[in-house]
Amino acid sequence: MTAQPSANELFQEEARELLQELDAALLDLDPASGEAVNRVFRALHSLKGACDMFGLEAAVCLLHAVESLWDRVRMGQIPASGPLLDQTFAVKDRLEPVALAGTDIDPDHGLLEAIVGFEPGRPADQPAPESPEQALRSEPAGETRGYRIQLAPSDPEHLRHSEPALLLEELEALGSLRVQADVSAVPPLEDLDPSRCHLRWEATLETDQGPDAVKDVFLFLNNASDARVEELQARRPDAPAPVDREVAVSPAEQAPQAAPKASAAEPPKAPAARPKEPAQSLRVEAAKLDNLVNLVGELVIAQARLTQLAAGQTDSALTGVAEEIERLVGELRDNTLGIRMLPIGTTFSRFRRLVRDLSAELGKEIDLEAEGGETELDKTVIEQLGDPLVHLLRNSIDHGIEPAGERLAAGKPARGRIRLCARQAGGTVFIRIEDDGRGLNVERIRQKAQERGLVPPDARLSDQECFQLIFAPGFSTAQQVTSVSGRGVGMDVVKRAIESLRGKLDIDSPPGKGTAITIQLPLTLAIIDGLQVRAGGEFYIIPLALVEECVELAAEPQARGRTISLRGETVPYVRLRETFRLPGGPPAVEQVVVTRHEHGRTGIAVDDVVGQQQTVIKNLGRYLGHVPGISGATINGDGSIALILDVGQLIHGVQRDFEQSWGG
């Protein structure tokens, strides 16, 4: 059995989520929006509570100080200014070890004093802020305060997220509490909606805690007006208690007295519609999910073998069972892979901080626009995609976007723009990083490549071929080395990482108008639906998402660049035998599989179409590495191997060879 995660591991995961939420809340902050400010405050408060539960005193001290600042922002006492954001980001970065190791940070008195002493626009005659030690003591010791509290949950959503009984228990933990329930709004039994709260509570609390501690009990109410806290006059412990009316204790669970029945003339009220239950989620360890996908992959292979065995038998019962298992395995595969799919927006969100910090370091003003964050990718692909995207964004910020003066001189706005967008087409996802900077200098790239011996001096390279040179190891056109780039490290890493994901890179860079790099990736690295074909006695798999139809083709003289007419449209096709130089000649009647890819519609002529099958994708291994036109391999039901075609790369390679042969 797999060991259950420890409490420390659960805390680390919660801390990571809260730090991510804090980062997103700060980046999305609209100072004019009270809810946006509350979002930051809630993230800080939740993180402080989690750290306090685990006894991380230094982290709690730091969070309490910055939380106090954002509480003042909520009260309208100070603005949510740039310096305050910088200080909060510094706290967030300082707390990263908490999420990584689950241990406390070393006390950072310099940062703590800067936060406690943070006072934008403080008049000279205003007293200096309290020390860091005093910051953790919000109220003088020994003073008793009284509060009158009214709690009135207003709708089912607010009731579901904050149960009144638990809120009253939290209040009771602060001191002496007296509670009275108001049942006057409870309807007759026949009109009672159990999903709604018809009770109201009025409480009196005596405690030595300050008003912030009392208000924090109701921090997570969606509707702030559901709870009202009124502070009464404070008194010392030796002072006589104030005269107050008696407040009877009436627990929330006590059955209400019978309410007056509705008059006969009044029609009965329709019961309120039950609200839609919120979506439930469950955290699962990634290793368990990976193991599940591997097992499903093996099950798919076993199912293919069963289907092949049943096809050779005349037993109808066996055939029926094989078909039923094939259907169930298909559904299991789709559901399992669906669990692994995550929106790529989870990766996009982390880059806003990168652009903010790096543009400030380089003295540039840059806006990041993200589109298509809902596009889903296999979690394995997303995990390995982070570093390549970081390299590409850093290059756009450093090399691509010009300084404000240069942009204005070129007739561009002073602020640069980077677009990060994703879209899905069939079984492929396209991710595009586009900037409106100066673009790639083809001549400078060619010159640098010649200086480093990457190309001969008399080489005639197209713009696209020059663009691909930037992915050569150690290649850089930077005039000087900076903390961001200039050492020629990064772009070759990007290319290797993308190719390891069976993806590829395309570059488009009109002079002076910016650069766009498009990453093409498979939707999943595990299992796909494929169409099995045969050519020259070998089996191949074409991803079914790219297949439009199959048509017959009579034998023709061997030639490249042939076309077929398909309902009035001319569609080019290539012969798989010619492309892979397979022995023997084609049959009298070939099959053309018409595919649609990023280059358009193209047919692939094969000897025979075997049929559709679920395909478990296997890597070719380090000895074969990257083979042009091949994205992987799979195991057939009889144990034989079938290669999986990379259709777009295959067609592009044939077109390039044809153009070079004919000078076209």
Catalytic residues: 45, 67, 395
Q: CA-CA distance, 56 to 169, in Å (whole number)?
A: 25
Question: What whole-number distance in Å separates Cα of residue 451 and Cα of residue 234?
Answer: 81
- Is residue 402 within 8 Å of residue 414, measured between CB atoms? no
**Using CA atoms, how far apart are residues 577 and 586, in angstroms rounded to an integer?**
8
Bridge partners (DSSP) of residue 209 are none
Which of helix, strand or coil describes residue 572?
strand
Nearest residue to 649 via CA among 607, 603, 598, 615: 598
- CB 349 within 8 Å of CB 24: yes
Task: Please name which of 606, 580, 582 lies closest in space to residue 594, comparing C-alpha atoms.
Answer: 606
Could you tell me how far CA 253 lies from the centroid of its own chain? 42
Distances (CA, A) of 381 to 293, 344, 425, 540, 631: 14, 10, 16, 24, 15
Give the count of beta carbons closer than 10 Å to the beta carbon of residue 623.
5
Q: Which residues contact 223 (CB under 8 A, 6 or more apart)?
A: 154, 155, 158
Please give the full DSSP string across 440-478, using - where no structure is assigned.
--HHHHHHHHHHTTSS-TT----HHHHHHGGGSTT----
Closest-CA residue to 11 (of 54, 60, 55, 71): 54
Cβ atoms of 436 and 442 closer than 8 Å? no
Sign of CA dihedral 47, 53, 59, 65: positive
CA distance 554 to 532: 21
Alpha carbons 448 and 549: distance in angstroms, whole number:
47
